[in-house]
């Protein structure tokens, strides 16, 4: 497999690899930020689509209490693991770029957990996927996903040795020291404390600081994880702006290090919650995927403009029931 930009097959080959599949099969628990968001936004009897489900880490939590649950992944090997782990749940092999087997508005919640969206390469594939997610979501439905942070140059590291050294240095400060000695010791322990929380590897920082992704605030980079993946990263403002183009309004953002503190330059990725916008009453829009102009009424019903043979147009009978207020 050629590892170079433009090779869209590379990521799929990595996610089909036995070693990658085994790695994901070992992951069982939700990250605290995911547990927090699922607790906050999951409602009983939701219809849930779990995109890029991997080896099924999120499946039991999302499926419990759902009216329906489908896990989807384009790696057949990942889906095999899901099926053997959770035989009572529904899993399908499909590319998230083409969700044509699901009808419009058939889900209340779509999840693309653990940065799965970042592996859609190139940009056009990711954009088609977002368009599809918006189509299969019910009006007012939610989309939860995470995206790598383009500004992350000091990822968190939990360096215990640095923390112990900082504590030792602080304990050694004596009242007899001169103010210069005290200032010096304070500066060194501050650096060690920073190192205890973040990875300050010089090569890594230099590599990221000189990258286009960092300065542009978005783009693909070559990520050495699992032997090498084309991975996208973006700053929160750019993520929300792109989703807004597809009628998805950002309603929540949580750092992946939650509940621990992390800064803009040390957050590895952000979790986002988007809500599919309901167009305003009377607003004419290509709202349905049919692409026809439509009109939304105050009761939530919707009608399309039908073209008659005599060259005239009229509003067709309403075909959408008033929206259920489930969310």
Ligand X SMILES: C[S@@+](CC[C@H](N)C(=O)[O-])C[C@H]1O[C@@H](n2cnc3c(N)ncnc32)[C@H](O)[C@@H]1O
Q: State the residues that interact with ligand X by CB under 6 A.
A: 15, 24, 27, 52-54, 57-58, 73-75, 78, 95-97, 113-116, 119-120
Question: Closest CB to ligand X among 13 and 106?
Answer: 13
Shortest spacing between CB 189 and ligand X, in angstroms:
37
Distance of closest approach, residue 22 Cβ to ligand X, in angstroms = 12
If the CB atoms of residues 15 and 102 are measured against ligand X, the closer one turns out to be 15
CB of 51 to ligand X, least distance (A): 6
CB of 80 to ligand X, least distance (A): 12
Q: Which residue has the tokens 């010096």?
A: 184
Contact 135, 99 (CB under 8 A): yes
Q: How far apart are CA 45 and CA 64, in angstroms?
A: 9
Reading the block at residue 196, the tokens are: 């205890």
The answer to whether the beta carbons of residues 79 and 50 sit under 8 Å apart is no
Residues 148, 126, 254, CA angle at the centre, nearest 5°?
Answer: 30
* Residue whose CB is less far from ligand X, 55 or 192: 55
Give the number of other Cβ atoms within 10 Å of residue 11's Cβ. Answer: 22
Question: Would you say 95 or 167 has its CB closer to ligand X?
Answer: 95
Shortest distance, position 12 Cβ to ligand X, whole Å: 7
Q: In terms of CB distance, is 78 or 256 closer to ligand X?
A: 78
Q: Which is nearer to ligand X, 96 or 151 (CB)?
A: 96
Q: Are 254 and 262 in contact (CB under 8 A)?
A: no
Which uninterrupted H or E stretch holds 196?
A: helix 179-197
Cα separations in angstroms, 126 against 40, 182, 239, 269, 299 = 27, 53, 12, 17, 34
Q: At what angle do helices 236-244 and 123-136 cross, to 10 degrees?
A: 60
Q: Which is nearer to ligand X, 58 or 197 (CB)?
A: 58
**Shortest distance, position 73 Cβ to ligand X, whole Å:** 4
Q: In whole angstroms, how close is the CB of 93 to ligand X at the nearest point?
A: 9
Cis ω on the peptide bond leading into residue 202 (within 30° of 0)?
A: no
Which of helix, strand or coil describes residue 226? helix
For residues 111 and 24, what is the distance between their CA atoms, to the nearest angstrom?
Answer: 17
State the nearest-atom distance from the C-beta of 124 to ligand X, in Å. Answer: 12
Which one, 119 or 154, has the nearer CB to ligand X?
119
Token readout for 41 is 């936004």
| Region of 81 on the Ramachandran plot (φ > 0 left; ψ -120 to 50 alpha; else beta) | alpha
**Most distant CA atoms of the chain, gap in Å:** 99
Region of residue 152 (left: phi > 0; alpha: psi -120 to 50; beta: else)? beta
The minimum distance between CB 151 and ligand X, in angstroms, equals: 20
């Amino acid at each position: 497999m050629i590892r170079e930009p433009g090779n869209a097959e590379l990521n799929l080959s990595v996610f089909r690899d036995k070693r990658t599949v085994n790695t994901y099969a070992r992951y069982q628990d939700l990250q605290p930020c995911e547990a927090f968001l699922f607790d906050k936004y999951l409602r009983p009897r939701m219809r849930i689509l779990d995109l890029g489900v991997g080896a099924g880490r999120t499946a039991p939590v999302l499926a419990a209490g759902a009216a329906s649950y489908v896990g989807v992944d384009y790696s057949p090997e990942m889906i095999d693991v899901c099926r053997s782990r959770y035989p009572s749940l529904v899993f399908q092999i499909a590319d998230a770029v083409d969700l044509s087997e699901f009808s419009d508005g058939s889900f209340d919640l779509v999840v693309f957990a653990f940065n799965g969206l970042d592996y859609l390469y190139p940009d056009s594939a990711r954009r088609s996927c977002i368009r599809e997610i918006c189509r299969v979501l019910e009006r007012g439905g939610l989309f939860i996903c995470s995206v790598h942070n383009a500004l992350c140059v000091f990822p968190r590291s939990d360096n215990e040795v640095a923390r112990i050294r900082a504590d030792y240095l602080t304990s050694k400060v004596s009242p007899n020291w001169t103010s210069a000695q005290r200032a010096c010791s304070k500066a060194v322990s501050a650096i060690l404390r920073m190192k205890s929380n973040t990875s300050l590897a010089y090569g890594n920082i230099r590599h990221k600081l000189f990258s286009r992704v960092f300065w542009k605030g978005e783009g693909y980079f070559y990520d050495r994880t699992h032997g090498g993946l084309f991975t996208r990263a973006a700053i929160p403002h750019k993520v929300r702006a792109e989703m807004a183009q597809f009628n998805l309004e950002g309603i929540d953002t949580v750092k992946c290090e939650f509940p621990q503190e992390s800064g803009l330059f040390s957050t590895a990725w952000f979790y986002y919650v988007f809500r599919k916008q309901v167009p305003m009453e009377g607003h004419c829009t290509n709202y349905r995927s049919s692409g026809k102009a439509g009109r939304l009424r105050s009761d939530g019903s919707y009608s399309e403009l039908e073209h008659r043979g005599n060259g005239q147009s009229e509003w067709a009978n309403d075909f959408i029931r008033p929206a259920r207020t489930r969310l």
